[in-house]
Structure 1
């Protein structure tokens, strides 16, 4: 089976909650169950360090101590600190600069979507928001990969541990330089409200989540448009999010004994929500396996729901929409991603593309 065949393979149909030995977790895949779990932060906590039944081998990862992994009230306090950067008006104001960066990258590039376009486009936006020099772009990517991969069994690997701590030290040094010599962006305001440890955890989370989610969304949109070239622009990004979500699943931890769809889960249970399977639930979506950019409504769960709904969802969607428009202008013919120009790692929880070359037939 080719890489693209694996990427577009139909996920298993949503079904009852069941235990999966691979994750040592209960897996929920029906839209209603996933929505409930993501919405009920009282029973299903994001805080693995507090509510996980077993010690987390990746407990040093800063992401476990910031926004996506915190419960109220601290979650709400941190979210309010950064929310103003992601309002509709603030995101709309960024659109011209995102479009200009996209045009410049495509004018300089050669069809390499990952290193030549999507990643530097996302990095430029994040760097501007945070007030970090865009010259640290390659470092952004390296930090993101290292921190994202430092989870589960990977955290026990001595080589990964060394790389993780080295990259964290680099990022911490970079952050201290920005605080000492601010150049705009949100970091100075955050530094005034948080101690250094909290600031580091939050900025690390913003870098990792902001870069990873948006770049994956752009890659997935390119693949979908190669496969479905007639898809109209309005509604395209939302359907890509439903059809090939940037993150295949997310996890929660039960705070108490709780019943889900007739299955009783004990306190401290790891619960994996399968976003990709929930986004194909026939109870919610007509013709769920069809790619339909005119789908309305489109209540996909790719950005989550409840208090942890993705803070940067508008920015991610805007960057993807601008990127696709720029790519369509630069590559006006029928798109083709050759198999020898595509390198990807596919796991049960997501898709990570390392290389993608786009050409016009």
Structure 2
């Protein structure tokens, strides 16, 4: 894990070449099992699409080997168990269909003017400075403002939303302290109370936002409990914010590091959608996911046993030379580009259209305003010590029109 944090791509290459299905002996206090690390594109795709790889392991394990969460993190655990991200059919199908009724393409497109307004405001603030940390000044605040707009949360509460989002997403990483879990559980309690008030307001006075749409879906179809509604709003805040932060920051970083690609893009902005797809492939915001093996599965010459876990490494799959020509080359014209950055199968990211649009709006607006930006010094950027994500801790730039 430590080597993956520091320089992950050579590690991925080595695993893919030598041990593409790597067995890691694992254990809890109640049982032993194997975690299988997958680094080939086709194996990762299988794990994402095959219904034998599931999320709700408690349905397949004997109760006596299921660990119960401590009281100090019970709110976090109970919330996550309602997230459609961690559900299997039929509950996943029910929850996703209801959320999707509210999360329509029209709602996403209607957010574009708001995105453009926020980017202009943030860029105006940056223009008064000589040097900025792009992560804190731009990439981080933009998505949380958009999520707040989408959910119908007042803008004056966005800093609180930002803090909740940050700690919730930290709790999903592989290397998490007990303190982070406790803080995330407290954030869930606060968010449930905050969102419950908004839900009750939308029942009385619906608006053109996602919470109103979910209330309407709940009331019309009667298949969504209030806890499920609240917890899936929490999911959208936690999962939808951090990934888009990474897309925007990674995109600016890559284009500045690859000046020929930036010049190519500035000459032809119709390449922007393709450029965003290449950013997602080359520096995937989410690097790995997990699934539980619900029955014995043969994967090549390896047998995965019921009760094991698989970890499909999306970041490795997206650099697989068997799938992508010259995978370590950043090419904004790459076509086809069937990356797995948003997953695949039934859990394909519901917010992918929103993230793509935000990435396109933010990157274009930044380079149109500051086309001659440069890195500040030798320590201009640093990636976070995260296994789950490919995310910049900071990106220090000299902004120049």
- TM-score of the aligned structures, taking structure 2 as reference length: 0.81
Q: 1:8 to 1:321 in 2, by over 3 A?
A: farther
Deviation by residue 1:173-216 (Cα, 9 ceiling, x = unmatched): 21122123237312133235132211221111011111011111
Q: Could you say what secondary structure the match of 1:230 adopts?
A: helix
Deviations 1:82-107 (A, max 9, x none): 22454444323322221121011110
Q: Output the CA distance in 2 between the equivalents of 1:82 and 1:337.
A: 43
The residue aligned with 2:184 is 164
RMSD: 2.6
**2 CA distance for matches of 1:34 and 1:323?**
30
**Cross-structure match for 2:122:** 105
1:9 CA displacement: 5.1
Q: Tell me, in whole angstroms, the C-alpha distance in 2 between the residues paired with 1:223 and 1:152.
A: 23
Q: Structure 1 residues 84, 196: CA separation in 2 closer, same or farther (over 3 Å shift)?
A: closer
Per the alignment, residue 20 of structure 1 pairs with 24
Distance 1:22 1:341 in 2: 38
Question: Within 5 A, what are the aligned runs for 1:1-361?
Answer: 6=6, 10-13=10-13, 14-15=16-17, 16-20=20-24, 25-40=35-50, 42-51=51-60, 55=67, 60-61=76-77, 62-109=79-126, 110=129, 111-151=132-172, 157=178, 159-182=179-202, 184=207, 185-191=209-215, 193=218, 194-231=224-261, 232=265, 233=269, 234=271, 235-336=274-375, 338-360=377-399
**Displacement of 1:6:** 4.8
**Aligned length in residues:** 355
Are residues 338 and 10 of structure 1, via their aligned partners in 2, closer, same or farther at CA, if it must alter by over 3 Å?
farther
What is the CA–CA distance in structure 2 between the aligned matches of 1:255 and 1:178, rounded to whole Å? 38
State how far apart, in whole Å, the 1-side matches of 2:176 and 2:388 are: 17
How far residue 7 of structure 1 moved from its aligned partner, in angstroms, is: 6.1
2-side partners of 1:67 and 1:279: how far apart? 25
Give yes or no for contact 2:283–2:390 (8 Å, CA) kept in 1.
no
SS at match of 2:290: strand
How high is the TM-score relative to the length of structure 1? 0.89
Change in CA separation of 1:46 and 1:245 when aligned onto 2, cut-off 3 Å: same
Largest Rg, 1 or 2: 2
Residues 50/137 of structure 1: CA separation in 2 closer, same or farther (3 Å cut)? farther
* SS in structure 2 at match of 1:347: coil
CA distance in 2, matches of 1:277, 1:250: 12
Partner of 2:221: none
Assess if the C-alpha contact under 8 Å between 1:214 and 1:319 holds in 2: yes
By how many angstroms is 1:8 displaced? 8.0
Contact 1:48 1:56 (8 Å CA) reproduced: no
Q: Give SS of 2:260's match.
A: coil
Extract unaligned runs of 5+ from structure 2.
Answer: 28-33, 219-223
Q: Is the 8 A contact 1:47 1:71 kept in 2?
A: yes
Q: CA deviation at 1:340?
A: 4.0
Distance 1:259 1:349, change over 3 A: same
State the Cα deviation string for residues 264-302 of structure 1 (Å, max 9, x = none): 111121110011111111111111110011100001000
Q: Say if 1:45 and 1:51, in contact at 8 Å, map to a contact too.
A: no
